[in-house]
């Protein structure tokens, strides 16, 4: 008998102290009951961590990033296990000079191996209002989500011989720190400490995941005898609309994808060859698109046309079904040759 389990969140929009605690530089972590702020100055950054560890589920947090000149700074929201063979899912928000867009870098580590960076510009200013950033982790995939729009899907391809993060409980973390040796325009722009303190603000903390108090509890989250809401195909697989959203994000906002970086990876990483375009199977099921689907496809076509008119650089690999589009900019954050992001 299979039991479908719904794990309730600790509280809808829980208070910070119910789910998290300061992990370092406690004097740089301020909680007023509604909003928690992490502060970076020339003496220290700061961070917080979840009180528990989890195996599969969804974690969400609302963040308002550093306003104004944030060059050289990184605000991170991520899940991670411990040890040299750890698993990790990263949101890294790379600061920029005033008026230039923030870069969101995502990365996936499995058994201690990362180097799976993707970078994109957001379609809004993340410094003026709070926006929701989520990680949905199931046995099938890891999905990075911004305001309920998927921006990246990392599929479980164990049947192709590719390791997947599924057997280590993870904590949830956030931090702000100085990374001006690489974070902004490849390290060309340094942190201007006259603009300190740099403050990232947080609220609406949500964790709906399978808690793992001890290693002995791992099986209760991964056993076949029970299935959680995130294991349902309607949740763990993108809908057609979500696939369209993902394509729109990639076409209009992606500026770097490790899968297309032949300088770093002369041999295409195996998972890149298998991921391809995740929407293919869904398109094959279509008989006639709905108005919404037609609008999404028109938006995609408009985005591609706009990119081409702007002189978009097209980078393709013949073994992959697709291209990466990048609009050149002298001031936009970019991946330089030999690009190796620093760890948290």
Q: What is the pLDDT of residues 90-127, one digit of tens each?
A: 999 999 998 888 999 999 999 999 999 999 999 999 99
User: Domain 7-344, what architecture?
Assistant: Sandwich (2.60)
Compute the Cα dihedral for 190, 315, 125, 16 and give only its sign.
negative
> Around Cβ 19, how many Cβ atoms within 10 Å?
21
pLDDT given at position 8: 42
Q: List, for residues 175-233, the tens digit of each pLDDT value.
A: 999 999 999 988 999 999 999 999 999 999 999 999 999 988 999 998 877 789 999 98
Q: Give residue limits of the domains in the chain.
A: 7-344
277 Cβ partners below 8 Å, 6+ apart?
Answer: 247, 321, 322
CA distance 39 to 47: 9
Mean pLDDT on 30-52: 96
pLDDT given at position 59: 98
Residue ranges with strand state E in 147-194: 149-155, 171-178
Characterize the bridge pairing of strands 226-228 and 3-5: parallel
pLDDT averaged over the chain? 83
Compute the Cα dihedral for 267, 271, 272, 273 and give only its sign.
positive
Q: What is the dihedral of CA 148, 342, 205, 333, to 10 degrees?
A: -40
Characterize the bridge pairing of strands 36-40 and 198-211: antiparallel
- Whole-number percent of the chain with pLDDT over 70: 76
Lookup: tokens for 92: 């890294």
Q: List, for residues 132-163, the tens digit of each pLDDT value.
A: 999 999 999 999 999 999 999 999 999 999 99
Lookup: tokens for 316: 């393709």
Specify the 3-state DSSP secondary structure of 222: helix
Backbone angles phi, psi at 314, to 5 degrees: -110, 120
Q: Omega into 157 within 30° of 0, i.e. cis?
A: no
| Diameter over CA atoms, the chain | 63
CA distance 161 to 159: 5
Specify the 3-state DSSP secondary structure of 120: strand
Lookup: tokens for 165: 């993060």
Nearest CA to 19 out of 4, 8, 3 is that of 8
CA distance 287 to 298: 17
Lookup: tokens for 228: 């959680």
């Amino acid at each position: 008998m299979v039991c479908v389990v719904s794990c309730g969140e600790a509280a809808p929009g829980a208070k910070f102290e119910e789910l998290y605690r300061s992990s370092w530089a406690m004097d740089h972590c301020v909680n007023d009951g509604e909003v928690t702020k992490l502060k970076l100055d020339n003496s220290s950054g700061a961070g917080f961590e979840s009180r528990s560890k989890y195996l599969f589920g969804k974690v969400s947090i609302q963040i308002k990033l550093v306003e104004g000149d944030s060059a050289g700074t990184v605000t991170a929201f991520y899940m991670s296990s411990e040890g040299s063979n750890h698993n990790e899912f990263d949101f890294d928000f790379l600061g920029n000079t005033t008026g230039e867009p923030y870069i969101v870098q995502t990365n996936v580590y499995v058994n201690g191996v990362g180097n799976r960076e993707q970078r994109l510009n957001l379609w809004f200013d993340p410094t003026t209002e709070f926006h929701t950033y989520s990680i949905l982790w199931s046995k099938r995939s890891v999905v990075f989500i911004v305001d309920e729009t998927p921006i990246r899907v990392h599929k479980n391809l164990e049947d192709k011989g590719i390791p997947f993060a599924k057997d280590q409980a993870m904590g949830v973390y956030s931090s702000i720190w100085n990374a001006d040796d690489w974070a902004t325009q490849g390290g060309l722009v340094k942190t201007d400490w006259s603009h300190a303190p740099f403050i990232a603000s947080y609220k609406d903390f949500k964790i709906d995941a399978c808690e793992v108090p001890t290693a002995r509890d791992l099986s209760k989250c991964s056993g076949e005898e029970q299935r959680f809401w995130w294991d349902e195909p309607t949740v763990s697989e993108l809908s057609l609309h979500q696939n369209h959203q993902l394509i729109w994000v990639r076409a209009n906002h992606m500026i770097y994808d490790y899968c297309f970086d032949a300088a770093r990876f002369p041999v295409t990483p195996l998972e890149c060859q298998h991921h391809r375009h995740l929407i293919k199977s869904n398109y094959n099921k279509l008989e006639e698109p709905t108005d919404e689907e037609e609008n999404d496809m028109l938006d995609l076509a408009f985005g591609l046309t706009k990119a081409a008119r702007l002189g978009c650089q097209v980078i393709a690999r013949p073994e992959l079904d697709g291209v990466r589009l990048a609009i050149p900019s002298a001031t936009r954050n970019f991946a330089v040759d030999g690009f190796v992001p620093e760890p948290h």
